[in-house]
Structure 1
Amino acid sequence: MRDQVALGALAIVAGVLVGIVLFVPFVAVSYRRRGGLTFGRFALWFSLLVYVLAIWTYTLLPLPSPESIRCAGVNLDPLDFVGDIRGAISRGSPLTDPAVLQLVLNVMLFLPLGFFVRGLFRRGILVALLSGFGLSLFIECTQLTGVWGLYPCAYRVFDVVDLMTNTLGAVLGVTLALLLPRAMRVRDGERIDADRPRPVTSLRRLIGMLCDLLVVGLGSTAILLPWQIVDVLLRGSDAAADDDAIAQLVANLVLIVVTLTWTLVTGRTPGNAAVQLRYTGSRLPSALARIVRYVGGIGGFQLLNLLPGEYGSWLVPLFVLVSFILVFPTRTHRGLPGLVSGQRLVDARAADEREPVAADS
Structure 2
Amino acid sequence: MDDSVFLGAIAIGLGALMAVVLFVPFVAIQYRRTGSLTAAQLVLWGAALVYFFAIWTYTLLPLPDPTTLRCAGVNLDPLAFVDDLRAAATRSGGSARAFATDTAVLQLALNVLLFLPLGFFARVLARRGILTALLLGFGISLVVELTQLTGVWGIYPCAYRVFDVDDLLTNTTGAVLGSLIALVVPRRPAATAPDRPRPVTRRRRILGMVCDVLAYTLVGVFVSVAVQAALVFSGNRDLAISTDIAGQFGSYAALAAVTATVLVTGRTIGDLAVRLRYAGGPLPVAVTRLTRFVGGIGGYALLDQLPAGWGLLSAAFVLTAGILAVTTRGGRGLPGILGRQGPRDSREDPPTGRPDITRSGDARRP
Give secondary structure in 1 for the equivalent of 2:194: coil
Choose which of 124, 127, 132 in structure 1 pairs with 2:129: 124
Cα distance, 1:247 vs. partner? 3.1
Equivalence for 1:19: 19
Q: Secondary structure at the match of 1:349?
A: coil
Shift of 1:360: 5.5
Give every structure 1 segment of 4 or more consecutive aligned residues whose post-TM-superposition deviation is greater than 4 Å: none
Structure 1 residue 302 and structure 2 residue 301: aligned?
yes
Shift of the 175–356 alpha-carbon distance from structure 1 to 2, 3 Å rule, reads: closer
User: TM-score scaled by structure 2?
Assistant: 0.92
What SS is found at the alignment partner of 2:172? helix
Q: Distance in 2 between matches of 1:163 and 1:257?
A: 50
Contact 2:262-2:292 at 8 Å conserved across structures: no
Please say if 1:71 is aligned against 2:109: no
- Shift, 1:99, TM fit: 1.1
| Letter matched to residue 280 of structure 2 | G
Q: Which residue of 2 aligns with 1:289?
A: 288
TM alignment of 1:216-255, pairs within 5 A: 216-233=216-233, 234-236=235-237, 239-244=239-244, 246-255=245-254
Maintained 8 Å contact 2:331/2:343: yes
Partner of 1:177: 182
**SS of residue matched to 2:62:** coil
Q: CA deviation at 1:352?
A: 2.1
Q: Is it true that 1:320 corresponds to 2:318 in the alignment?
A: yes
User: Counterpart of 1:111?
Assistant: 116
8 Å contact 2:35–2:196 — kept in the other structure?
Answer: yes
Say if 1:260 and 1:291, in contact at 8 Å, map to a contact too: no
Q: Secondary structure at the match of 1:248?
A: helix
SS of aligned partner of 2:282: coil
The residue aligned with 1:30 is 30
How far apart in 2 are the matches of 1:272 and 1:101?
A: 50
- Uncovered stretches (5+) of structure 1, i.e. residues with no partner: none
Shift of residue 168, structure 1, vs aligned partner:
0.9
Distance 1:225 1:198 in 2: 39
Contact 1:119 1:185 in 2 (8 A): no
Larger mean Cα displacement after TM superposition, 250-259 or 272-281: 250-259
- Structure 2 Cα separation of the partners of residues 14 and 191 of structure 1: 30
Counterpart Cα distance in 1 of 2:101 and 2:85: 11
Shift in Å at residue 343 of structure 1?
A: 1.0
C-alpha displacement at 1:232, in angstroms? 3.7
TM-score (norm 1): 0.94
Deviations 1:89-133 (A, max 9, x none): 112221111111000100111111111121112222222111111
Counterparts of 1:221 and 1:190, CA distance in 2? 37
Could you say which residue in structure 1 is the equivalent of 2:46? 46
Task: State the secondary structure of the residue aligned to 1:328.
Answer: helix
Task: Structure 2 unaligned segments of length 5 or more: list them.
Answer: 93-97, 358-362
Alpha-carbon distance in structure 2 between the residues aligned to 1:219 and 1:191? 32
* Distance in 2 (alpha carbons) for counterparts of 1:254 and 1:168: 49
1:259 aligns with 258
Question: Residues 148-176 of structure 1, C-alpha deviation per residue, up to 9 Å, x if partnerless?
Answer: 11211111000011111111111111111
**Equivalent residues of 1:128, 1:171 under 8 A apart:** yes
RMSD over equivalenced CA pairs, Å: 1.6
**How much has 1:88 moved relative to structure 2?**
1.5
Give 1:145-160 correspondences, 5 Å limit: 145-160=150-165
C-alpha distance in structure 2 between counterparts of 1:252 and 1:282, whole Å: 33
Matched residue, 2:197: 197
CA drift of 1:136 comes to 0.8
**Residue identity opposite 2:146 in structure 1:** C
